[in-house]
Amino acid sequence: MTDRPRNDKTWRLLVVDDEPIVGKRLQQVFGKMGFAVDAFTSPETAVAAMAKEPFDIVVSDLKMEGMDGIEVLRRAKALNPAARVIIITGFAEPETAERAYAQGVFDFIAKPFRLDELKQVINRALAELRQEAGEITAGC
């Protein structure tokens, strides 16, 4: 699996985590991999950004002030049903994971996570998005 998205499309990644260091770090890592990355500490601001321009992949913390990651997931899928949403959390409870999967989450990762683990999940999401884009192109 490659570390760099390949093709003409710039894949958009949104990170929302109330800890600024998480967004900053993921912005650096995935920006170097070729993604256009926007990071937000406010879920409300992140959702407003999604409404203006769709994101292909959304990485959201679960527990945040004002709006939790499940609500970010719901709104992201409402705005762009094709978006792949990944929830990261330090509060990995089976019931919460079940709710997230019922809402269409792509993956649910417990904190602390290894960066390689998140890269693998994002690469899987990207592979699915590319396959769907290829199917749409092939069908035209």
Judged against a pLDDT cut of 50, whether residue 138 lies above it is answered with no
Q: Report pLDDT for 140.
A: 46
Does residue 4 lie in a domain region? no
CATH of the domain at 60: 3.40.50.2300
**What pLDDT digit, counting tens, does each position of 11-32 carry?**
999 999 999 999 999 999 999 9
pTM (two decimals):
0.88
List, in order, residues 6 or more apart from 30 with CB less than 8 Å away.
Answer: 13, 15, 37, 122
Count of domains for the chain: 1
Does residue 115 lie in a domain region? yes
Does residue 28 lie in a domain region? yes
DSSP E strands, 6-83? 12-16, 36-40, 57-61
Does residue 2 lie in a domain region? no
Cβ–Cβ < 8 Å for 60, 39: no
**What pLDDT digit, counting tens, does each position of 82-122 carry?**
999 999 988 777 888 888 888 899 999 988 889 999 999 99
Does residue 135 lie in a domain region? yes
